[in-house]
Chain A
Amino acid sequence: MSSLIDSTSSIPYGDDDGSDNNKVTPKLRIDPVAVSINLRPRQTAAAKEHFEATTPKFEVTKFKIVSTLAKKRWIQFALIVPNQLIFWLVIFSGLFGTLDPGLNFATAITWYIWFAIVFVLMVVVGRAWCSMCPFGGFGEWIQRKTFFQRTQKSLGLGKKYPQKLAAYGLISSAVSFIVLTFLEEFFNIAGPGTPADTAFMVLGIVLFATSSFLIFERRTFCRYLCPLSGLIGSIGAIGAAAGFRTKDRDVCYSCESKACMRGGEEGYGCPWYTWPGSAESNSLCGLCTECYKACPSSNVGLFVQPPLTSVIAPSRKRMDIAVVSAMLLGLVVFQQVNALNIYTSLDNFLNSHTPFGHYPNVLDYVGLIALFALVPAALFKVGAVAFSNITVKADKDLPFLERHSAFRNFFMVGMYGMIPTIGADYFARQLPKFFNHATRIVPAVIHPFGGTNKFLYNYSMLGTHGIITVQLIIMAVGVAASVYTTYKIARREIASSNRNMATLYLVSATLIMGIAVALLYIPMQAAN
């Protein structure tokens, strides 16, 4: 490593060599710091194989307009501001506007429209929402003490997220999603109920987010605590946005600055703890453009990929994402079931026989979510017992994400495979609210100004049968995608001497579960 400096690019310390007086003849000039550095070799031999399947080909930042915008420091600010305005309006209107949830801007936008948009964005682009999220944006402005400039000093304690929790990756985010959903149901916020409750919920999230930004470093909130992060991180993997990735991995290996991680002159170090040099899915790239700005070698680009790539292709499947998927499945099936009469009877029964006397009863809420989440786990366990004749030694000493077992092998393949079904399920469940009430946004907007529009208030874009049909179509697409995904992953990753049978089993399990949740939409009768 140590040698005389023989190229101007390595003249020490980013010396200002602009002026003629400052010219240095490289031959004579030795950078003593560089001479003393004697790094061990990197291990990159396996890189090609490891990243081949996930390396996206199509770079969006090749287009001048995209690259110019992505380089601008204000770009994320510009994306956040409209959402920021809307959400302050939601708080304001929720607190001071009309009590009719159907006519209040807060409830109308949040529950009829916003949710649907987030889901579409998620399924199509991955973490697009994260790049414009007003909650993260607000916290980050305060943490960085600026709206969009690159500053060197930050506000807050800058703590690291506790190691023990961080070891479980996105799971804490899924837990906070389940808690938030419980609160929504308990206070009937999403019903939607009293607009003020929606305002309080939004304010609560702002408070939670901002305080997390002040306690922890970077976007610890977004990665670990935000209720939506686990959802977007797992289901968003369907999306066609690959996120920001390296253009030439070798340049990254020899890169001295790692400015995309540490922060450089023009950009912050990745707030999401994602290195473009090793990202192999879109799950943990918040599309914030910081690495794109920071990289001194212009070695980062925004890429798109065929849908499902980030579900199927990554060499490293993450146990946390598999678990999060199971939890999300449990939650969405619970929400389907709770629209059925049988659930109401169960809830009433529990409410009168347990200390919790309010819908939804904590016991059935947690119990049913767990039950529905354990169904796939049980099915994959059976698969593992039946087909895995390869003994994988479980090592309890390893951290959660790195342990291996036959069960994990089947569970991870299966749960990754279920991701499209779960995504479709969340989307389908949201549709009745959208189709029945999305048009209420017009009366809600004109209401404060004295306007009324009875027609749009009561207008429903689709009848009950129409909605069920659309729901079933969406589910069919999701289940089909799941079958395909499971097949692709299982072919490659199942550790079994009888790979064909194991694959067949997994695909059937996915198919059966998919059909079961899809069919639930018929008795639900397009309930909200």
Chain B
Amino acid sequence: MKLFSHNQETHTATAVLTDRCAGCQECLVRCPTNAIGFNEDSWIVEINAELCIGCGQCERLCPFSAIVIEKELSVLESQLNRHYEPTGSVFLSVQETKPAITSFDAALFEASRCLECPDPTCVKGCPAHNNIPLALKNLRDGDIDGARSIFQETSHIGSICSRVCDQKSQCEGACSLALAGGEAVSIGALEKYIFDHSNGSISHFSETAKRVAIIGSGPASLGACFRLLEAGVEVEVFEEKDYLGGLLNYGMPDFTLPFETLDKVIEELRTAGVTFHTNHHVSDEELKQLRGNFDSVIVAIGANLPIRPKVDGIESAVSIDAMDFLVRYGQSIRESNVEYELYGKKILIVGAGNTAMDVARVARRLGAEAVSVEWVNSKFAKVRPDELEEAITEGVDVRFQTTLVATAGRLATLVNTTHDDPSKLPSIIESSKYTEEFDLVVMALGYRKGGDIELVEPQYTLGETPSPKWSASGILSKSHNHNQQIGSTSWMRERKTRAVGSKDNGGIIAVGDFLYGPATVVEAMASGRNAADRIIAGM
């Protein structure tokens, strides 16, 4: 064991700064490979350079910056093909587009890249805090059902999350390997593999005669449902649409989240005894009634009021909101009841966020030409890089620093912008105006919360300072990863998912997007679960 090891050939070094190491052993207890030992004479730690694989967690977490790791990460290279290449035409295709693991061997191989970190940062990056290392250990032991049951301790909808999560900014972004600048363990693909190759079950840990009503059937609602069922609670869900799943249904096109996957989850709940009421709108008035009939009411109606652009003459154009577009045409693809209505048409999509990409890709699947315009600089755009790349691959014409200023009939006036400072709004370059003809304008600027249920404010939030468990793992330190803010972003998510909005002394609890505005599916799920936890604890 060496305090200092320098390899002349590879220019790698692992060193303990003997002057500053205080012997607190925070690093030693967290090293995944047990490469850190303790020198009892000097009361400092030592690194065994041969065992060290260069994950850098020790360097990130040492409070006194007393460890230096300058070493290439030496772990197995991932064999997962992350590159998206559509096979053949995308026309009417419902084939999933995200990388997938296709064999048990491949799953084993990928799972064996996990270091089983003693203080896993991936778990903090995942908003549901799935116990990833333990699940993957089960998988490596060949126990797929066991692996699934580990996931189910924190989330029953892994089949959904694994498909819709932005892993790069969640679990995989926070994986030690990614923080060290390497390729993360493909947690999402593994989670999908595990859920697709096993069957779910709901384990009851108590029985009670309580009844809870949930308004809305999106991810927050599903998260709460499963947790409440585990506690033996009787659950009734009220959904205003004629379909279930909220934005998980048509909001996620089938090439991202196949309808069967969602349907399987809903059937699981139905079998377990959840009553679903569709086409049932709950007003503020009825909410008060429900409050009387049930022990608690969870409001999980999401944030689905579309944000509309202010554009001259938009009334005269043929325009539609993104959600309406996705429902209408998603339905026609799903039911293979394709009217060739959009074929060969040219569609203008206002916005280039994730929803806009979904719209554009659905349009491409119906044979339309899709142009998406977004006035911010591509560098500051709020779109997942993988989605953007996939959309471009599928032939979507994405124009950043371009915006729609006026429409007259089918004629749209577009203009370019300058945008160099993310803290400022882009400014329009008047001289750059040009006109183009479109058959349809889709407004996809995103959503906000609202509706006829009185909004409530988040309560019982966590403090701003991350808990010791977070800082001790080193996730908050700047890392080699491009995504340097992964730690603070995760903590901010944590604060959101753990907040609940309450009025009327806790009888009505607001959760998910309805509470704090649009967020991700898994955050909404975790938020619903957290509310359920509070209800259960209050019994």
Could you tell me which A residues sit within 8 Å of B by CB distance?
A: 12-16, 19, 21-25, 28-30, 32-44, 46, 50, 152, 160, 163, 166-169, 217, 252-253, 256-259, 261-262, 265, 269-270, 273-275, 277-278, 280, 315-316, 320, 397-402
Q: Which residue of A lies closest to B34 (CB)?
A: A40
**15 A–B contacts, CB within 8 A, in A order:** A14-B468, A15-B462, A23-B537, A24-B537, A29-B537, A30-B153, A32-B154, A36-B123, A37-B469, A40-B28, A42-B25, A50-B43, A167-B18, A258-B24, A261-B64
Interface string of B489-533 (1 = CB under 8 A from A): 000001000100010011000000000000000000000000001
**Chain B residues, Cβ within 8 Å of A278:** 22-24, 43
Interface string of B130-142 (1 = CB under 8 A from A): 1111100000000
| A152-B154 in contact given A25-B537, A258-B26 (Cβ < 8 Å) | no
Taking the closest CB of chain B, its distance from the CB of A392, in whole angstroms, is 13
Q: Which of A35, A37, A152, A257 contacts B118 (CB 8 A)?
A: A37
Interface string of B387-407 (1 = CB under 8 A from A): 000000000000000000000
Taking the closest CB of chain B, its distance from the CB of A16, in whole angstroms, is 6
Contact between A46 and B4 (Cβ–Cβ < 8 Å)?
A: no
Contact between A32 and B131 (Cβ–Cβ < 8 Å)?
A: yes
* In the complex, B30 has a CB within 8 A of chain A: yes
Contact between B534 and A24 (Cβ–Cβ < 8 Å)?
A: yes
Contact between A398 and B3 (Cβ–Cβ < 8 Å)?
A: yes
Taking the closest CB of chain A, its distance from the CB of B124, in whole angstroms, is 6
Taking the closest CB of chain A, its distance from the CB of B495, in whole angstroms, is 9
* In the complex, B460 has a CB within 8 A of chain A: yes
Interface string of B28-59 (1 = CB under 8 A from A): 11110010001011110000000000000000
* In the complex, B19 has a CB within 8 A of chain A: yes
| A256-B463 in contact given A13-B494, A275-B24, A401-B18 (Cβ < 8 Å) | no
Contact between A402 and B18 (Cβ–Cβ < 8 Å)?
A: yes
| A13-B498 in contact given A35-B131, A277-B24 (Cβ < 8 Å) | yes
**Chain B residues, Cβ within 8 Å of A270:** 64
Contact between B43 and A16 (Cβ–Cβ < 8 Å)?
A: no
Distance between Cα atoms of A30 and B231 in the complex (Å): 14
Interface string of B3-27 (1 = CB under 8 A from A): 1110000000001111110111110
* In the complex, B423 has a CB within 8 A of chain A: no
Distance between Cα atoms of A184 and B440 in the complex (Å): 82
Q: Which residue of A lies closest to B538 (CB)?
A: A23
Contact between A32 and B123 (Cβ–Cβ < 8 Å)?
A: yes
Distance between Cα atoms of A478 and B534 in the complex (Å): 68
Question: Of residues B5, B502, B538, which shows the largest number of chain A Cβ atoms within 10 Å of its Cβ?
Answer: B538
Distance between Cα atoms of A217 and B478 in the complex (Å): 14
Distance between Cα atoms of A398 and B41 in the complex (Å): 14
Contact between A163 and B460 (Cβ–Cβ < 8 Å)?
A: no
Contact between A315 and B41 (Cβ–Cβ < 8 Å)?
A: yes
* In the complex, B63 has a CB within 8 A of chain A: yes
Taking the closest CB of chain A, its distance from the CB of B504, in whole angstroms, is 11
Contact between A41 and B4 (Cβ–Cβ < 8 Å)?
A: no
Q: Which of B30, B41, B131, B472 contacts A256 (CB 8 A)?
A: B472
Q: Which residue of A lies closest to B494 (CB)?
A: A13
Q: Which of A40, A50, A152 contacts B465 (CB 8 A)?
A: A152
Contact between A39 and B153 (Cβ–Cβ < 8 Å)?
A: no
Q: Which residue of B lies closest to A15 (CB)?
A: B462
Contact between A269 and B63 (Cβ–Cβ < 8 Å)?
A: yes
Taking the closest CB of chain A, its distance from the CB of B522, in whole angstroms, is 13
Distance between Cα atoms of A19 and B459 in the complex (Å): 11
Contact between B460 and A21 (Cβ–Cβ < 8 Å)?
A: yes
Contact between B17 and A166 (Cβ–Cβ < 8 Å)?
A: yes
**Chain B residues, Cβ within 8 Å of A167:** 17-19
| A256-B43 in contact given A33-B129, A399-B4 (Cβ < 8 Å) | no
| A28-B469 in contact given A167-B17, A275-B24 (Cβ < 8 Å) | no
Taking the closest CB of chain B, its distance from the CB of A64, in whole angstroms, is 29
Contact between A24 and B533 (Cβ–Cβ < 8 Å)?
A: yes
Taking the closest CB of chain B, its distance from the CB of A19, in whole angstroms, is 7
Contact between B42 and A13 (Cβ–Cβ < 8 Å)?
A: no
Question: Of residues A43, A257, A270, which shows the largest number of chain B Cβ atoms within 10 Å of its Cβ?
Answer: A43
Taking the closest CB of chain B, its distance from the CB of A485, in whole angstroms, is 21
Distance between Cα atoms of A32 and B467 in the complex (Å): 14
Distance between Cα atoms of A358 and B527 in the complex (Å): 76
**Chain A residues, Cβ within 8 Å of B26:** 258
9 pairs of A and B residues whose beta carbons are closest in the complex: A275-B22, A261-B63, A32-B129, A257-B468, A39-B29, A46-B40, A13-B467, A36-B123, A401-B18
Contact between A36 and B120 (Cβ–Cβ < 8 Å)?
A: yes
Taking the closest CB of chain A, its distance from the CB of B433, in whole angstroms, is 43
Distance between Cα atoms of A169 and B131 in the complex (Å): 42
**Chain B residues, Cβ within 8 Å of A252:** 24
**Chain B residues, Cβ within 8 Å of A21:** 460, 502, 505-506
Distance between Cα atoms of A469 and B76 in the complex (Å): 75
**Chain B residues, Cβ within 8 Å of A315:** 41, 43
**Chain B residues, Cβ within 8 Å of A261:** 22, 24, 63-64
Q: Which residue of A lies closest to B20 (CB)?
A: A273
Distance between Cα atoms of A404 and B446 in the complex (Å): 66
Other than the known A37-B469, A163-B15, A315-B43, what 18 A-B pairs have Cβ atoms closer than 8 Å? A21-B506, A28-B536, A34-B469, A36-B120, A36-B129, A36-B133, A166-B17, A166-B20, A168-B19, A169-B19, A259-B468, A261-B24, A261-B63, A262-B472, A278-B22, A397-B5, A400-B18, A401-B19
**Chain B residues, Cβ within 8 Å of A217:** 65
Question: Of residues B5, B63, B472, which shows the largest number of chain A Cβ atoms within 10 Å of its Cβ?
Answer: B63
**Chain A residues, Cβ within 8 Å of B506:** 21
Q: Which residue of A lies closest to B32 (CB)?
A: A40
Contact between B468 and A399 (Cβ–Cβ < 8 Å)?
A: no
Q: Which residue of B lies closest to A46 (CB)?
A: B40
Question: Which residues of B87-144 are within 8 A (CB) of A?
Answer: 118-120, 123-124, 128-134
Contact between B22 and A277 (Cβ–Cβ < 8 Å)?
A: yes
Question: Which residues of B321-373 are within 8 A (CB) of A?
Answer: none
Distance between Cα atoms of A400 and B42 in the complex (Å): 13
Q: Which residue of B lies closest to A37 (CB)?
A: B119
* In the complex, B2 has a CB within 8 A of chain A: yes
Contact between B468 and A398 (Cβ–Cβ < 8 Å)?
A: no
Question: Of residues A15, A397, A402, which shows the largest number of chain B Cβ atoms within 10 Å of its Cβ?
Answer: A402
Q: Which residue of A lies closest to B533 (CB)?
A: A29
**Chain A residues, Cβ within 8 Å of B38:** 43
Taking the closest CB of chain A, its distance from the CB of B264, in whole angstroms, is 24
Q: Which residue of A lies closest to B22 (CB)?
A: A275
**Chain B residues, Cβ within 8 Å of A14:** 462-463, 467-468
Q: Which residue of B lies closest to A259 (CB)?
A: B468
**Chain A residues, Cβ within 8 Å of B266:** none
Taking the closest CB of chain B, its distance from the CB of A137, in whole angstroms, is 22
**Chain A residues, Cβ within 8 Å of B65:** 160, 217
* In the complex, B471 has a CB within 8 A of chain A: yes
Q: Which residue of A lies closest to B135 (CB)?
A: A36
Taking the closest CB of chain B, its distance from the CB of A380, in whole angstroms, is 21
* In the complex, B68 has a CB within 8 A of chain A: yes
**Chain B residues, Cβ within 8 Å of A168:** 19
Q: Which of A43, A166, A399 contacts B25 (CB 8 A)?
A: A43
**Chain A residues, Cβ within 8 Å of B131:** 32, 35-36
Distance between Cα atoms of A315 and B42 in the complex (Å): 8
**Chain A residues, Cβ within 8 Å of B132:** 36
Taking the closest CB of chain B, its distance from the CB of A175, in whole angstroms, is 15
**Chain B residues, Cβ within 8 Å of A15:** 462, 498
Taking the closest CB of chain B, its distance from the CB of A1, in whole angstroms, is 9
Contact between B537 and A28 (Cβ–Cβ < 8 Å)?
A: yes
Contact between B468 and A256 (Cβ–Cβ < 8 Å)?
A: yes
Distance between Cα atoms of A29 and B129 in the complex (Å): 14
**Chain A residues, Cβ within 8 Å of B64:** 261, 270, 273, 275
Distance between Cα atoms of A287 and B534 in the complex (Å): 45
Distance between Cα atoms of A104 and B152 in the complex (Å): 78
**Chain B residues, Cβ within 8 Å of A265:** 465
Q: Which of A24, A40, A316, A397 contacts B4 (CB 8 A)?
A: A397
Taking the closest CB of chain A, its distance from the CB of B154, in whole angstroms, is 5
**Chain A residues, Cβ within 8 Å of B469:** 12-13, 33-34, 37, 256
